[in-house]
Chain A
């Protein structure tokens, strides 16, 4: 199975970089963004196959980014990352069209599994 091109969006640079490196090690082509605007620009330019998006971000929030993605490029699946224990954000995201959500700190194997599922549907 070919590894999909993915975009990783989180305001914590350390988190994004580290996770990106780990995914890169596993053969994924990883794009990163640390804010909503950057993410939207990259999506237009690069057209990733899947977006992993943090819900809690300063500026343009995760759910707003999600809505914009869904209006501009509705075919790209989005997996949400929530820092909250609350399932509310996750469920709200699902309602807005996210494919699924994961709770931070995440297990990388689980993330990969979810991404592959999202891309193959």
Chain B
């Protein structure tokens, strides 16, 4: 389908053509407005919500993660400071004293005692010569004469001049760290001063971080071996089960699922001058608790908003479409009413024309027949005189009937002159009933009067109203069987109007009949009705500014309701 076709379809479906009067029209209109309004409100809201959520998440994570990183870095610095301090001591000793001084067991022991008093955690102190032989030793063990030349750290200190070991278990199964400093002497010879410190101080530093019971912090080395006791991830010298990236770059924070299946945030800070890295592990849910709370609040708010929007859209659309529908119906009704009036008036004009044209020849027929009658009765001794007079009388009678019809037709069509006078509708109804009295008494018709006692007097035309009620009552009487019932009710409708209803329990009318009853020449009284009664009645009531409504239930009766203006108005 081409773009143009789609566009047409859309336009057709969306903005309905005005002449589309089917009931589906309102359904489609309602649907379209609802869809459109929902889309233009919910889409921006959703976009806003998503962007908000994203931005909030980012900033809140930063806010939460940064302190984590800072804490880890700070503690790492404490560790580095601690190690640097120990290294500085060893380095100072190595610089202050000569190889000869330090080879003396007594001097070394003195220095060791002083250091042990001043600085915590020092386990032992030893001097190793070029060949890797322990030359002197101060400490709890007997390492004198031990050869280190084949050990890895010895090679490393020879190359680098300084060495800080990983944590290792000493002879008493205590975690230790060894620090060694190399001093060069003349002729390519060198000596090494080596100190061992225990790592209890490490535990203090980690404890000072003040992490919660569900968090963990420990040191590891580059190979991922745990260097200080970990709460959840193994003992010293175990391999750390967490799989964060290990390397020598700045402090990083990563998200990680630990072997227990918990989602954790891991801050990792490698040391600058040694192979250690500090690891801080915190449960993600705990840290992001505030974010989750905020997010669920935001989500709740979003859902409530969408629900409210949809409710309002539905309600509003319903109201609007109902209004449109009502307006359409009113317009349609007014249009039908106008059409009806127009139809009546054009039929009226036609009738008047016909009546007028027929009237003149009828006058001639009337006179000719009259003359024939005159001639026969005045002069002639005509044999068939009786018969002849009968015939002329019949012609004259027919002419008279035609006259009645044409005059009623003309009466229907002409603009009647209305003489307004103040009158009492209740009285007027009684007069009309008196006039029709014989008929309904004879037929045993039950006429029930329910006349409003304080019915205001109105300004209208007595003669014309008499004709109106006469016509309606005559119809009512002819609709019912003998001993039927006709109720006449009057009431004060509103400030400007009074109402008169004439209800019978007669045969009623079909829908089809109802449509035509106000049209001239429409009659159900075949043979004796002119079909003008109700047309004239309707015309009069309209002319007097009133209204005539009819309601009928086929088989159960008919109600005519006449509304009359209290003050004179002429249409």
Co-assembled chains A and B:
yes
Interface residues of chain A, those whose CB is within 8 Å of chain B, are: 12, 14-15, 18-19, 21-22, 25-26, 83-88, 103-106, 108
* A9 smallest CB distance to B (angstroms): 14
A93 to B375, CA, bound (A): 33
A83 contact from B360, B370, B409, Cβ within 8 A: B360
Query: Assuming A85-B410, A85-B414, is B370 touching A18 (CB within 8 A)?
Result: yes
Residue of A nearest to B368 (CB): A18
A83 to B356, CA, bound (A): 7
Q: Are B414 and A86 in contact (CB under 8 A)?
A: yes
B interface residues (Cβ-Cβ under 8 A, vs A): 352, 355-356, 359-360, 362-368, 370-371, 374-375, 378, 399-400, 402-403, 406-411, 413-414, 417
A14 to B417, CA, bound (A): 33
**Closest CB in chain A relative to B377 CB, distance in Å:** 9
Q: In the assembled complex, which residues on chain B have CB atoms less than 8 Å from the CB atom of A18? A: 364, 367-368, 370-371
Chain A residues with CB under 8 A of B417? 87-88
Which A residues lie within 8 Å of B400 (CB)?
105
A–B complex contacts, Cβ < 8 Å, 25 sampled? A12-B364, A14-B364, A15-B360, A18-B364, A18-B367, A18-B368, A18-B370, A19-B367, A21-B374, A22-B371, A22-B374, A26-B374, A83-B360, A83-B363, A85-B355, A85-B408, A104-B359, A104-B360, A105-B359, A105-B362, A105-B365, A105-B367, A105-B400, A106-B366, A108-B370
Question: A78–B517 Cα gap in the complex (Å)?
Answer: 43
Given A83-B363, A84-B356, A88-B414: A103 in contact with B374 (beta carbons within 8 A): no
B123 to chain A, nearest CB (A): 140
Question: What residues of B have a CB within 8 angstroms of the CB of A83 in the complex?
Answer: 356, 359-360, 363
A14–B402 CA distance with the chains assembled, in angstroms: 19
Contacts of A14 in B (CB 8 A): 364, 367-368
User: How far is it, in angstroms, between the C-alpha of A108 and the C-alpha of B411 when the chains are bound?
Assistant: 23
Residue from the list A26, A85, A88, A104 in contact with B363, Cβ < 8 A: A104
A84 to B367, CA, bound (A): 18
Chain B residues whose C-beta falls within 8 Å of the C-beta of A105 in the assembled complex:
359, 362-363, 365-367, 399-400, 402-403
Separation of A33 and B246 alpha carbons in the complex (Å): 137
CA distance A105 to B399 in the complex (A): 8
Complex CA gap A25/B371 in Å reads: 9
Q: Which residues of A contact B403 (CB under 8 A)?
A: 103, 105
Give the complex CA separation of A30 and B406 in angstroms: 29
- Tell me the bound Cα distance from A106 to B396 in angstroms: 11
Nearest CB of chain A from residue B527's CB, rounded to whole Å: 24
Chain B residue nearest in CB terms to A19: B367
Nearest CB in chain B: distance from A45 CB, A: 26
Most buried by B among A19, A26, A87, A105: A105
**Would you call the interface of chain B mostly helix, strand, loop, or mixed?**
helix
Task: A15-B363, A85-B409 are known; give 10 further A-B pairs, CB within 8 A.
Answer: A18-B370, A21-B374, A22-B370, A83-B360, A83-B363, A85-B413, A88-B417, A104-B359, A105-B359, A105-B367
**Contacts of B365 on A, CB cut-off 8 Å?**
105
**Chain A min CB distance to B19 (Å):** 42
Q: How far is the CB of A25 from chain B (nearest CB, A)?
A: 5
Contact for A25 among B378, B408, B410, CB less than 8 A: B378
- In the complex, A103→B374 CA distance in Å? 21
Q: Please determine whether B364 and A15 come into contact, CB atoms closer than 8 angstroms.
A: yes
Looking at the assembled complex, report how far the CB atom of B85 sits from the nearest CB atom of chain A, in whole angstroms.
131
Whole-angstrom distance between the Cβ of B370 and the nearest chain A Cβ: 6
A26 to B409, CA, bound (A): 33
The verdict on A12 contacting B360 (CB below 8 Å), with A22-B371, A85-B355 known, is yes
Query: Which residues does chain A contribute within 8 Å of B360, judged by CB atoms?
Result: 12, 15, 83, 104
| Residue numbers in B under 8 Å from A104 (CB-CB) | 359-360, 362-363
Contacts of B402 in A (CB 8 A): 105
Task: Assess A84 versus B364: contact at CB under 8 Å? Given A25-B375, A104-B359.
Answer: no
Q: Which residues from chain A contact B414 at a C-beta distance below 8 Å?
A: 84-86, 88
Q: Which 8 pairs between the two chains have the least Cβ-Cβ distance?
A: A85-B410, A105-B366, A18-B367, A105-B363, A104-B363, A85-B407, A86-B414, A14-B364
A29 to chain B, nearest CB (A): 17
Do A85 and B406 have beta carbons less than 8 Å apart?
yes
Cα separation A14 to B368 with both chains bound (whole Å):
8
B406 and chain A: residue at smallest CB distance: A85
Complex: chain B residue closest to A91, CB-CB: B417
The CA of A77 and the CA of B370, in the complex, are separated in Å by: 25
Chain B nearest CB from A72 CB (Å) reads 28
Residues of B within 8 A of A106 (CB): 363, 366
CB distance from B399 to the nearest CB of A (A): 6
Contacts of A26 in B (CB 8 A): 374
Q: Which of B352, B407, B413 contacts A103 (CB 8 A)?
A: B407
Instruction: Report A-chain residues with C-beta under 8 Å of the C-beta of B356.
Output: 83-84
Bound-complex Cα distance A74 to B386 (A): 46
Smallest CB–CB gap between B308 and chain A, Å?
A: 69
* Residues of A with C-beta under 8 A to B409: 85
CB distance from B380 to the nearest CB of A (A): 12
Which residue from chain A places its CB closest to the CB of B356 in the assembled complex?
A83
Q: Chain A residues near B364 (CB, 8 Å)?
A: 12, 14-15, 18
Residues of B within 8 A of A85 (CB): 352, 355, 406-411, 413-414
Q: In the bound complex, what is the Cα–Cα distance between A22 and B379 (angstroms)?
A: 12
How far is A19 from B369 in the complex, measured between Cα atoms in Å?
A: 10
Q: List, in ascending order, chain A residues with CB within 8 A of B368's CB.
A: 14, 18
